[in-house]
Amino acid sequence: MMDTADYDAFAPAYVEENENGLFNKWYERPEVLRLAGDVEGLRVLDAGCGHGPLTKELRDRGATVSGFDVSPAMIAIARDRLGECADIRVADLAAPLPYGDNEFDLITCSLALHYVENWRPTLGELRRVLRPGGRLIVSLLHPFLFAALHRDQDYFALTQYSEDYAFGQTTTVLTYWHRPLQDVLNAFIDAGFTFISLTEPKVHPDTPSELLPPGDKRQFLSFLFLTLALPLSLIHI
């Protein structure tokens, strides 16, 4: 099972932070949407969709959207947000996915893979449900951030670690899996994907200055963004 905190317990507080905070509203979502480009008419899966803010943005841009998350509370919020026009389900990124082969033109996996210890079956499932020629856009915690914050740990080892977070009046512990950059990239290569781009972007130009780190920094070490493709010649076996 995907290794996460109990998001059900702090879902409302998390939603507030996600909707308005620097890292999600002004940094991560704008970059994923930029990388996605024109999605009009595409079948898009938002893997690990949470309460559905990215799913809604993709829907509003003309995509036919599906999404799933391991948290029933998050999925309830997403269903309220999206209504009957989207297929939103409770499912686990670390388990077999409830979709058919080659079902999607584009998959977004937004800040979810770093909760998963074993990527091989997960990437295999994402490959299975993506059509040949389709794209996968992934955002995850930057491996170098772990190296900067945990200097006493072995950067090159697969390592489980936890961080305390405050969402409004709620404090919780989130647990992640770190892997070095070479293991991140090779996992996708081994799963049959090819690379289109790797980005470490600036925040959105309209980001309020009061949200930025000291010194008005608009580019900082936080997330890594990967855009990948499934070759047309790849046959699922």
For residues 58-68, give the mean pLDDT: 98
Across all residues in the chain, what is the average pLDDT?
Answer: 93
Nearest alpha carbon to residue 138 among 29, 32, 43, 27: 32
What is the rounded CA–CA span in Å between residue 95 and residue 70?
10
Q: Which residue has the higher pLDDT, 171 or 114?
A: 114
What is the rounded CA–CA span in Å between residue 10 and residue 169?
10
For residues 43-59, give the mean pLDDT: 97
Q: Which residue has the higher pLDDT, 51 or 11?
A: 51
All structural domains of the chain: 7-142+181-229 (3.40.50.150)
Reported confidence tier of residue 7, pLDDT bands at 50, 70, 90: confident
For residues 145-174, give the mean pLDDT: 91
pLDDT digits (tens, 9 = 90+) for 162-217: 999 887 777 888 999 999 999 999 999 999 999 999 999 999 999 999 999 888 78
What integer pLDDT is reported at residue 22 of this predicted model? 93
Nearest alpha carbon to residue 111 among 75, 149, 82, 69: 69
Q: Does residue 19 sit in helix, strand or coil?
A: helix
Catalogue the E-assigned strands of the chain: 43-47, 64-69, 87-90, 104-110, 130-141, 159-167, 170-178, 194-199, 223-229
What is the rounded CA–CA span in Å between residue 127 and residue 190?
11
pLDDT digits (tens, 9 = 90+) for 15-44: 888 898 999 999 999 999 999 999 999 999
Nearest alpha carbon to residue 36 among 15, 66, 50, 57: 57
